[in-house]
Amino acid sequence: MATDERIGESISTWLEQTAPPRLPERVLEATFERTRRSRQQVGWRARLGGVHMPRFVPALGSAAVVVVAAAVALNFYVNRPSIGGPVFQGTWVSTTDADGGTQTMTVRGSADGAVEIVVSDDVASVCSGGPSTMTGTGRLEGSTVLVIPSPTFTCDDGSEPEALSGPPLQEQLRNLTFVLDPEAETLTDNFGSVWRREGAPVLSPEPATPALSGGMWPQTDLAEVQEAQRLADAGDPAYTWQVDPQLFTDDTWASEEPGQIELVDRFLRDVLGWEAYVLNPYEGMGRNGVYDVNYDQRYLRCAPGRTNPLYPPQPEPDWGELCAPTLDDRTYESVSLDLAQLDRQDRDGIWVVNQWRLTAPFAQADPVAVEAQATERLEEFLAARIAGSGAEGHVQVYDDVDVPLLYATTSGAPYERYEIERVDRPRWPGAFMIFSARLFADGDATVVEQEIRWLQGEGLWMDFNTTTENGQPVDLSHTSSDGEVTVSAPSTWDVLWPGEDGVAHEIAPDVWFGILWADVPDRDGDGYTIGLVDPVAYDAWCAANGGTPLLSAPAGAAAIAQELIADPNFETTAPVAARVGGVEAVSIDVTLAPGGTHCVPGMIAISRWVHALATGPGLRLRLYLVDLPEGMSVQTLAITVVAPEERFEEFIEETAPIIESIEFHPR
């Protein structure tokens, strides 16, 4: 039988035994939509770094694995005894581990219906070739899979076992898995070792079963990696292909396009026999809850020469639209790869597949079924809005806003009917889709339109920025998370309050700030923001982070204005009396002087008051300094309106209603 046929047959058998009826969908669109509007651009990948360790080949040598599980839960197949019964009691032997040792496993049933499993190996590479012992508690997943979640591994001579490559040994052994083949009466563990009953003949005429997991490739240990690195440095083309600067620099999109990562491409084609594949960014890519793009990369096998029957390719197709599933119209074969630089971690260091394993099948959503479900939920939501009650909770919005115009128009007119239109194609793999919901009032004279998105597994999400009434944005009220400041702005504006940006809150927890910006196409670039910040706290944070603060000491609005006027780094107009939120204020226009310096430590999303001028050339700002009433957490607030010099007056006029809407709420 051809090698790829054996692989396909083995994979099919394994999938039938272990596949769940339906996998949970993981969706990223909600996070993407929230972060794409953020001023801070954080790279898609977070590198944890490589490891300087040779390959670890799990050697369960003289290892004792004690697994206790209810026998009634371990009936591996119908009309067979439980694992504690005669069919499974006894001794199992494996000689297929890479250490060259012999592993022995004894299975015993206890009086209370539990099962004890003892595994021994006379050679364990993680114990310098000596014997080892491992204990743990097991569980059954499905009908033929036994998992030991957290085994404890010890060396019989008292030394500490040490992983020779990859993550710590305990992490690599986590969820140690044995898969039973009831007909052949063999066990296969997740490191590829095959176990047969002691004394059973080895059927040599049958070709070896392709592994469901494996270790390092194309090298097999650290010594080979180091030699390959030496040859790659010398320009040997047999090894230079393993050098990939895209992986080292975290090129976000390199892994997205099939064939861009040669290491992955060669492995999937040459080792697994996959002719076509696509990256699956919706699963994996992390360890122990920490994101790591090179660990647990998931790839899906594509049927060669076919496109996706459920997501037909569009003029600018997604990769998933070009990838037809291989198991049925919905389900893909899936593999997990760990990539690593084991010798040298730099642009010229070679990469290897450190380990790999086939994973449970990945199921794409059926867009027809998803659209029917989404439409039904959306109709319930809109019907409740027309009824005037019960619409709360049907859609999700961000924490600082409510659903705009939930039951009536801005004039208070109730809604009379609705229309729904899907405005974008379903997106692979979760059938993410966008609807336009239109509510009519005043005999169709008034139309409120909003964009609502369906995220599989999440439900309906409303993008409040899209709310319009008769085609015009509506004003929305936003209150800071501490309840101290309220501001109203058109629905096309976004707002970020204290504590909502996790990075800024962690780096500058004592700086109270808020940012508003217009989320419209012609406002790309620098400026076009309204900032609110405690200038005294910002200066203290600036000084603590190596910057040169503007203020010599904490001061009120008038004193801060005078220090700013006297600072040679800035050019200012004369201060003018103003009022903000019913409180007296000082207003000054400010630009950065030629050669002027500024204090902007760190590129995080934070209001920088006058230092915002440093974010781009040719900017001008209007500064309002307000001494706040007692009971506020900030003594003096700086409010800045920033725009390019050539459009400054236009932006000041546009934002005047927003400044006038600001209200303060002392505690």
- List, for residues 150-177, the tens digit of each pLDDT value: 788 888 888 888 776 556 777 777 777 7
pLDDT the model gives residue 47: 25
User: Among the three residues 454, 473, 492, which one is the final residue of a domain in this structure?
Assistant: 473
CATH code of the domain covering residue 191: 2.40.128
The answer on 389 and 290 residing in a single domain is no
Contacts of 196-203 with C-beta under 8 Å, sequence gap 24+, read: 196/92, 196/93, 196/94, 197/90, 197/91, 197/92, 197/93, 198/90, 198/91, 198/92, 198/93, 198/104
- Structural domain span for residue 454: 368-473
d(CA 15, CA 5): 15
Whether 552 and 452 map to the same domain: the answer is no
Identify whether the C-beta of residue 619 lies closer than 8 Å to the C-beta of residue 471: no
The DSSP call for residue 267 is I
3-class DSSP string for 410-434: CCCCECCEEEEEECCCCECCCCEEE
- Domain shared by 99 and 111, yes or no: yes
CATH number at residue 628: 3.40.1000.10
The pLDDT of residue 412: 96
Predicted pLDDT at 623: 96
One domain, residues 485 and 469: no
Number of domains in the chain: 4
Q: Is residue 146 classed as helix, strand or coil in its secondary structure?
A: strand
Residue 62 lies in a domain: no
- Strands 115-121 and 417-422 turn out to be unpaired
Higher pLDDT, 77 or 640: 640
Question: What value does the mean pLDDT of the chain take?
Answer: 78
* Mean pLDDT, rounded, for 501-515: 74
Any domain includes 134: yes
Identify whether 123 is part of a domain: yes
For the chain, report the end-to-end CA distance as a whole number of angstroms: 79
Instruction: Give tens-digit pLDDT for 561-594.
Output: 999 999 998 999 999 999 999 999 999 999 989 8
Q: Which of these ranges, 271-275, 312-316, 612-616, 649-653, has the smallest mean pLDDT?
A: 612-616
In a domain, 513, yes or no: yes
Q: Residue 264's pLDDT band (boundaries 50, 70, 90)?
A: very high
* Mean pLDDT, range 11-36, rounded to an integer: 37
504 shares a domain with 458: no
Highest mean pLDDT among 170-174, 379-383, 501-505, 600-604: 379-383
Final residue in a domain of this structure, among 434, 454, 473: 473
Q: pLDDT band at residue 9, thresholds of 50, 70 and 90? A: very low
Torsion angle of the four alpha carbons 597, 603, 604, 608, in this order, in degrees rounded to the nearest 10: 10
Q: Quick check: helix, strand or coil at residue 277?
A: strand
- pLDDT for res 481: 84
Q: Specify whether 498 is located in the same domain as 647.
A: yes
**Are residue 165 and residue 270 in the same domain, yes or no?**
no
Q: What is the pLDDT of residue 55?
A: 26
* Cβ(301)–Cβ(362) below 8 Å: no
Same domain for 332 and 375, yes or no, is no
Residue 382 resides in a domain: yes
- Give the pTM: 0.60
Please list, residue by residue across 257-288, b when 16 or more beta carbons sit within 10 angstroms of its beta carbon and e when fewer do: ebeebebbeebbeebbbbebbbbbbbbbbebe
Whole-number Å distance between alpha carbons of 359 and 335: 5
Region label for 557, one of left (φ > 0), alpha (ψ between -120 and 50) or beta (otherwise): alpha
CB atoms within 10 A of CB 289: 5
| pLDDT number for residue 487 | 94
161-175, 201-215, 224-238, 584-598 — most confident range: 224-238
Could you tell me if residue 66 is inside a domain?
no
pLDDT of residue 489: 93
Residues 272 and 188 in one domain: no
98 falls within a domain? yes
User: What is residue 113's predicted lDDT score, i.e. its pLDDT?
Assistant: 54
Q: Indicate if 490 and 468 belong to the same structural domain.
A: no
Q: Which of 51-55, 147-151, 208-212, 302-306 has the lowest mean pLDDT?
A: 51-55
Per-residue confidence (pLDDT) for residue 453, from 0 to 100 = 94
- Residue 277 to residue 268: CA distance in whole angstroms: 8
For residue 424, count other CB atoms closer than 10 A to its CB. 12
Same domain, 352 and 375: no
- Give percent of the chain with pLDDT exceeding 70: 74
Question: If DSSP codes are grouped into helix, strand and coil, which group holds residue 272?
Answer: coil
- Give pLDDT, residue 505: 62
Q: Contact at 8 Å (CB) between 62 and 493? A: no
Residue 302: what pLDDT? 96
pLDDT, average across residues 519-543? 79
* Whole-number Å distance between alpha carbons of 450 and 469: 9
Q: Is the pLDDT of residue 528 over 60?
A: yes
Q: Give the range among 97-111, 397-411, 480-494 with minimum mean pLDDT.
A: 97-111
Closest among 522, 472, 532 to 497, alpha carbons compared: 532
* Cross-strand pairs, 330: none
Note the helical H segments in 164-312. Answer: 169-173, 222-233, 237-240, 245-248, 262-266
Alpha carbon 275 to its chain centroid, in Å, reads 28
Count CB atoms within 10 A of the CB of residue 607: 27
Q: What is the pLDDT of residue 97?
A: 62
pLDDT tens-digit readout, 384-423:
999 999 999 889 887 656 889 999 999 999 999 999 999 9
SS3 306: coil
Question: In this predicted model, which residue has the larger pLDDT, 251 or 338?
Answer: 338
Tokens at residue 508, please? 């500058």
* pLDDT value at 206 more than 50: no
Rounded to whole angstroms, the Cα distance separating 179 from 191 reads: 11
Highest mean pLDDT among 58-62, 318-322, 445-449, 483-487: 445-449
Give the pLDDT score at 382: 97
pLDDT of res. 230: 96
Q: Which amino acid is at 257?
A: E
- Bridge partners (DSSP) of residue 119 are 105
Domain edge (last residue) among 473, 497, 521: 473
DSSP state, 271?
A: I
Residues 452, 481, single domain; the answer is: no
Four-point Cα dihedral 382, 383, 389, 393, nearest 10: -50
| Residue 57 counted as domain residue | no
